Amino acid sequence: MIIYFGQTYCAYCKLIMEDTFAKPDLVEYLVRHFDIVGLSIHDIRELTTPDGVSMTVRDYSIREDAQFTPSLTFFGKDRQKALTLRGFYPAYEMRAALEYVADAHYQTMSFRDYLAQANPPLLFEDETLISDPLFMQPPFALDRSVVPAGQPLAVIFEQPKCHACEVLHSEPLQDAVVRERLAGFDVVQLDVRDDETPVLTPDGRRSTPRRWATDLELFYTPTLIFFDAQGHEVFRIDSVVQFFRLAGVLRYVAEKAYQENPNFQHWKFAQNKSEREAFSGKPTKAAP
């Protein structure tokens, strides 16, 4: 089964429907192997979850950490949660996810390992990441477990010759608002294939970028992970992201909004509602 969390007026939901789920072979495989349930993250009607708990759809979306829409939670034939994908994914990754769950590969390996097995990367010594003056330079002493830091931490995991990484650098990271907000973060760029550079992780462990990426179960580049002053992970972007969404996430993390509202989309909806009411002078209706 796949549970699809979406919302009205979501550009990424529209994109995944018009692009990824418009591929006939992918749709045929999807229908043949899965039951699919579509839910709106703002819906306050009650449902019974796959593990038998009654709650509202909204609360269920929070429990499933549907921070971005679309967000898909996959369950295997054994009723065990097998995989979660948050945000937009193109057809290649989506096909791999469907096969990963339908063929029960989740029982023996991580999705990261499954993708690497199917498409091992070619390594070249002269390949480098795209530089930016925003990024901290080594040594990467990121430990915050003993002495809290003065500002939050953003860690960007990338790899060379990564088209999505190039898009991140050429579009979102060049936006003036994004750069202004990132100035309030410690920003670190790491190569997911690097097994030599020492990294002291936010929770005080000695590691390398490759080992840390494995521990964090990363399977997509670029992945952006945000940590608070004490070194706790508070947010993750592991899908396609545009500047307006990244700018919103940076504000969400910097203002510690996650402490009162654990779901980014619900926080964003409340912010937009307040702005609409302030502009019109009238309370707005809840989304259907």
Output the domain CATH number for residue 216: 3.40.30.10
* 26, part of any domain: yes
Q: Is there a single domain that holds both residue 188 and residue 109?
A: no
Nearest Cα to Cα of residue 229 among 265, 250, 256, 199: 256
* 169, part of any domain: yes
Q: Is there a single domain that holds both residue 185 and residue 221?
A: yes
Residue 91's pLDDT is 85
Residue 100, domain extent: 2-118
Q: Is there a single domain that holds both residue 257 and residue 172?
A: yes
Instruction: Look at residue 210 and tell me whether its pLDDT is greater than 90.
Output: yes
Domain count, the chain: 2
pLDDT in tens, 156-180: 999 888 888 888 998 899 999 999 9
* 16, part of any domain: yes
Segment 129-155 shows an average pLDDT of: 94
CA 230 to chain CA centroid, nearest Å: 21
> Rounded to whole angstroms, how far apart are CA atoms 48 and 46?
7
> Rounded to whole angstroms, how far apart are CA atoms 93 and 95?
6
pLDDT in tens, 227-245: 999 999 999 998 878 888 8
> Rounded to whole angstroms, how far apart are CA atoms 134 and 181?
11
76 CB-side CA count, 13 A: 16
> Rounded to whole angstroms, how far apart are CA atoms 1 and 239?
21
Residue 287's pLDDT is 44
* 123, part of any domain: no
* 17, part of any domain: yes
- What pTM was computed for the model? 0.77
* 286, part of any domain: no
* 187, part of any domain: yes
